[in-house]
Structure 1
Amino acid sequence: MKTISLSGLMVAGLLGALIVPSVNAAGDPEAGRTKFYTCEGCHGVAGYTNVYPSYHVPRIGGQHADYVVSALKAYRSGQRTHGSMLGNAANMTDQDIEDIAAYVSRFRSMNAALPVTGNPSVGQGKSESCGACHGEDGNTTDPNFPRLAGQYESYLIKALQDYKSGARKNPIMNGIAEGLSEEDMRDIAAYYASQKKGLTIVED
């Protein structure tokens, strides 16, 4: 197994897509419930996958509201790229984004049971340095970093692959991913996907 020395880089977290100051999301969850209709066709369907490349659409129920706001604004500006997400976020106002974020953050899973292909036990050891930002089990309390617990393995792998290739840009994450093998990515993703208390799909 390849030895990974990332202690200097892990301070930013394993999958911190954006390093931004807290945006202090303060939306209306009831308004967000109505506005979420444009999102539910993907994020409200268990096991739904992106067409190409094929990977699970991320579970966002229970994600920090502030982080959801920063992600949607990044899609709206083009800082993060994905055809469907750009199309959905392009016409959202700041209030729309905050309302949707407030709505999805209310959900949490207490019993996630997702299939994995990597080795969660090995992945736990490989992800030890990630806990400073993402929490020991992927349930960080810092709203600037995403929760990873209960996220689909394939989505986490895709995110790391994109950081490694440079398709997803963040100087620290690009450096972290550069040192990971495909096996490392699978194992780390498997560990977070195996945490039962974490993210879920958004459905009422």
Structure 2
Amino acid sequence: MRVITYLAGVGLLGCATLVQAAGNPAEGKEKAAACGGCHGENGNGAAPIFPKLADQHASYLFKQLSDFKTQRRVEPTMNAMAEPLSEQDMHDIAAYYAAQPITAENGETNRLGEKLYRSGNPASGVPACTGCHSPEGAGNPQANFPQLHGQYAAYVEKTLHDFKAGERANAMMRTIAAKLSDAEISAVAEYVSTLK
């Protein structure tokens, strides 16, 4: 009985920690005011080279802000923007953007991109993107895999090239991107931008 009581107490403590760590979207809106110049007022990106933050998983956004703050992910503008943020600030900003609706991109389905996204390329050892990012591009918040649907094609393409060049830290994505040709990178980027 003591073991069950102890485990229940640990479980409640874990839940309390999760609740405490959650961000406040209203506070986040105020704290994100400076982000609008690049990411748009509601997180839909002011230009296609900047990522859409709207509707992204809060856990993923928090991790990216943390990585920018500690310079685990190096991008001078974002390192400077994240440096003064507290942990709560990052949770609040992440919660704000996660609550915003994403605007979908319009365009015709890129058939090569769809094939790569759904089936990968067995000949070159590229796995299907759906395994981590889901068939609809919704990602997996528990595993910190980002949502991709509706993201700007230009940003996805740049990101895949950054992984291929070893400029981003995710070892799994570096390995996958290294196996993609430039044409495949462009195709899958165009395809995910039209996922809804």
| TM-score, normalised relative to structure 1 | 0.75
Q: CA deviation at 1:170?
A: 2.0
Instruction: Please identify, of 81-90 and 169-178, the stretch whose mean Cα deviation from structure 2 is larger.
Output: 169-178
Report the counterpart of residue 112 of structure 2 in structure 1: 122
Larger radius of gyration: 2
CA contact (8 A) 1:26 1:102 kept: yes
Map Cα deviations across residues 7-58 of structure 1 (whole Å, 9 max, x no partner): xxxxxxxxxxxxxxxx955101110010011111111166634xxxxx6101
The answer as to 2:129 corresponding to 1:134 is no
What amino acid is the match of 1:79? R
CA contact (8 A) 2:140 2:146 kept: no
Q: CA deviation at 1:142?
A: 2.9
Q: Match for 2:25 among 23, 29, 32?
A: 29
1:70-149 aligned at under 5 Å gives the runs: 70-109=63-102, 112-114=104-106, 120-128=110-118, 129-143=128-142, 144-149=144-149
- Corresponding residue SS for 1:149: coil
What amino acid is the match of 2:40? G
What amino acid is the match of 2:37? G
Give the number of the structure with larger relative contact order, counting CA–CA contacts within 8 Å between residues 6 or more apart: 1
CA contact (8 A) 1:133 1:142 kept: no
CA contact (8 A) 1:114 1:152 kept: no
Q: 1: distance between equivalents of 2:150 and 2:45?
A: 13
Q: 1: distance between equivalents of 2:24 and 2:81?
A: 19
What amino acid is the match of 2:132? C
Q: CA deviation at 1:132?
A: 1.8
Q: CA deviation at 1:114?
A: 4.3
What amino acid is the match of 2:24? D
- Corresponding residue SS for 1:39: helix
| TM-score, normalised relative to structure 2 | 0.78
- Equivalences, count: 166
Aligned residues with identical type, % of pairs: 34
Unmatched segments (≥5 aa) in structure 1: 1-22, 50-54, 198-204
Map Cα deviations across residues 43-92 of structure 1 (whole Å, 9 max, x no partner): 1166634xxxxx61011100000000000000000011111111100000
Report the counterpart of residue 150 of structure 1 in structure 2: 150
Unmatched segments (≥5 aa) in structure 2: 1-16, 119-127
Q: 1: distance between equivalents of 2:136 and 2:55?
A: 15
